[in-house]
Structure 1
Amino acid sequence: MKPSFEKFQKRRLISSYFSVVLSIFLVLFLLGILGLFVINSKRLSDNFKEEIAMTVFFKNEANDSVISAFKTQLEAEKFVKSSVYVSKEEAAKNHKDIIGEDFMEFLGMNPLQNSFDIYLNSEYINPEGIRKIESTFRMNEMVSDVVYDKQLVTLVNDNIQKVSMWILIVCGIFGLIAVLLINSSMRLSIYSNRFIIKTMQMVGATKSFIRKPFIWRSIRLGILGSILAIAALAGVLYYLDTNYPDLEIMAEPVLVAAVLGGVLLVGILITWISTFFATTRFLNLRTDDLY
């Protein structure tokens, strides 16, 4: 009978540890995913902004020296990330490939103009900044027009501000959920040992002596759950980096390492703090209240 009871107790203890580690793993994994999204969200939004092109068209009177001088100007400007020169012959060919017909056969001439497709650095892509750049280009007498999608620029900036605000709110909510769930798991684990805690206290053990083994056990469980979460996050990073290289998910390895390290630190801190307060609560209860 006794060995059977001991086996039952052992299985129940293992089951309790497993549920604690599993809850820590799931919460920290989701928290880590959110952290990785946060550190990559700005870069992803910047990449999207930098795909918006500003096209500068030149008058037909603009000769090669004017085009060359403008190209040199672009290379010196801080707000320019990259630029592509599109001659009117190349533009006509592109139109022909898209439309499927040679429109110059009907017109007898090429009405298109030489142009530059200019891609700006993300910090300059806002309504005010891009208007200043447009004004700078229009000061050139050989420039006939400057074209870009004004509505898209406004829409992108407004939406990025809204998304950033919601990301902060979601981060706060997830952080609170992480603390509450892990704290709940640790409290349940300590609750199952409440009689042991009270018995040790009744035979004269100090509070710090009683807390110590429970805190160390919780920290070990927190570390185990954190390591599992880090391993799962590393797997997700490897998968995304291998199958979706355009996302450049590992473009900032220091920040990625900081998130993974933060997952480990959070797992240790929350389990330690939760166990400390849970054991203190049962230490301060009267024996009758344990039931």
Structure 2
Amino acid sequence: MASSFDKFQKRRLISSYFSVVLSVFLVLFLLGILGFFIINSRKLADNFREEIAMTVFFKNDANDTILKAFAKELKVAPFTKSFVYVSKEAAAKQHTDIIGEDFMTFLGTNPLQNSYDIHLKADYVEKDSIAKIEGQLHKNPMVADIVYDKQLVNLVNDNIKKVSLWILIISGFLTVVAVLLINSSLRLSIYSHRFIIKTMQMVGATKAFIRKPFVMRSVKLGMMGAGLAILALIGVLIYLETNFPSLGIFDDPLLVSIVLLLVFGLGILITWLSTYFATQRFLNLRTDDLY
């Protein structure tokens, strides 16, 4: 009879440990995925901003010396991500390829102008920043016109702000749910030992002495769950990098390492706090309230 009861208790204990590890693993895995999504959503937003080109057209009087001097200014300018020089001959060829016929045959001349297509850094793709850059470039007397899609700039920035706000709200909500799920699993685990806790307290054991083994065990389970979550996250990242290299998942290994360390740290912190307060609750209960 005793042997059968011991086996039952052992199975229940293993089941309790497994549920805690599984809860920690699933919650931290989802939080890790969310963390990487937030990082890469910022990267995607920046890439989208940097795809918006500003075209600077030059007057026909601008010679090669002036154009080369302008290129040197762009190289050292803090707002420049990249730039490409487009001669009026190259622009004419592009137009011919697009419309399918040579428009210069009936015009008799090339009406296009030499230009630079400038891609700004993401931080400068703002209404006020672009206006300042535009004013600065217009100081060059050889600049004929500056063209960029103002409506697209405003639309992109407005949508990015809205998406960022919703990501923060969802992140906060999921974090709260994660803490509650892990806390519930650990409280159930501690609940099954409430009589042992009260018995130890009745024979004179201090609260810290009673609490220590429960906290240590939960932290170990949290480390196991966090370790599994990190392995699963690394697997997902390798899969994405292999199948979608354009995302550049491993372009910033420091950020990837920080997210993985945060996942591991959260596993330890949440299990430690949850176990501490759960054991404290049963330590403060009267014996009659245990039933």
TM-score category by the smaller chain? Answer: over 0.9
Matched, 1:11 2:11: yes
Residue in 2 that maps onto 1:135 = 135
Give 2:201's aligned residue: 201
Structure 1 SS opposite 2:117: strand
**Structure 2 residue ranges without an equivalent (≥5):** none
Cα shift at 1:259: 1.4
What TM-score do you get using the length of structure 1 for normalisation? Answer: 0.93
DSSP 3-state at the match of 1:111: coil
Query: What secondary structure, in the 3-state scheme, does the structure 1 residue paired with 2:118 have?
Result: strand
| Cα RMSD for the two superposed structures | 1.8
Say whether 1:30 aligns with 2:30: yes
SS in 2 for 1:84: strand
- SS of 2:237's equivalent in the other structure is helix
Question: What is the SS of the residue equivalent to 2:146?
Answer: strand
1:210-229 residue pairs with structure 2 within 5 A? Answer: 210-229=210-229
Q: Return the alpha-carbon distance in structure 2 between the equivalents of residues 281 and 172 of structure 1.
A: 26
Task: Choose 242-251 or 140-149, whichever is displaced more.
Answer: 242-251
Aligned residue number for residue 113 of structure 1 = 113
Aligned 1:136-215 pairs, distance under 5 A: 136-215=136-215
Task: Write out per-residue CA displacement over residues 214-270 of structure 1, whole angstroms, 9 at most, x where no aligned residue.
Answer: 111101100000001111111122222222222222222222212111111111111
Deviation at 1:124, TM superposition (A): 1.5
Instruction: Tell me how far apart the structure 2 counterparts of residues 244 and 228 of structure 1 sit (CA, whole Å).
Output: 24
Q: Corresponding residue for 2:88?
A: 88
Give aligned-pair identity as a percent. 69
Query: SS in structure 2 opposite 1:144?
Result: strand
Matches within 5 A, 1:243-282: 243-282=243-282
Of residues 278-287 and 148-157 in structure 1, the stretch that sits farther from structure 2 once superposed is 278-287
Per-residue Cα deviation, 1:149-177 (whole angstroms, up to 9, x for no partner): 00111112222222222232222222212
**SS of the counterpart of 2:140?**
coil
> In 2, Cα distance between the equivalents of 1:68 and 1:213?
73
Q: Distance in 1 between matches of 2:259 and 2:148?
A: 38
User: Does 2:239 match 1:239?
Assistant: yes
Q: CA deviation at 1:60?
A: 2.4
- The Cα of 1:48 is off from its aligned counterpart by 1.7
Q: Kindly state the Cα deviation for residue 285 of structure 1 after the two structures are TM-superposed.
A: 1.6
Question: Distance in 2 between the 1:259 and 1:148 partners?
Answer: 37
Aligned-partner Cα distance in 2 for 1:170–1:102? 54
Q: Report the TM-score, using the length of structure 2 for normalisation.
A: 0.93
- CA deviations on 1:61-83 (whole Å, 9 max, x unpaired) are 32222222222222232211211
Look up the match of 2:69: 69
Deviation at 1:96, TM superposition (A): 2.5
Question: Which amino acid counterpart does residue 62 of structure 2 have in structure 1?
Answer: A
- Runs of 5+ in structure 1 lacking a partner? none
Q: Counterpart in 2 of 1:50?
A: 50
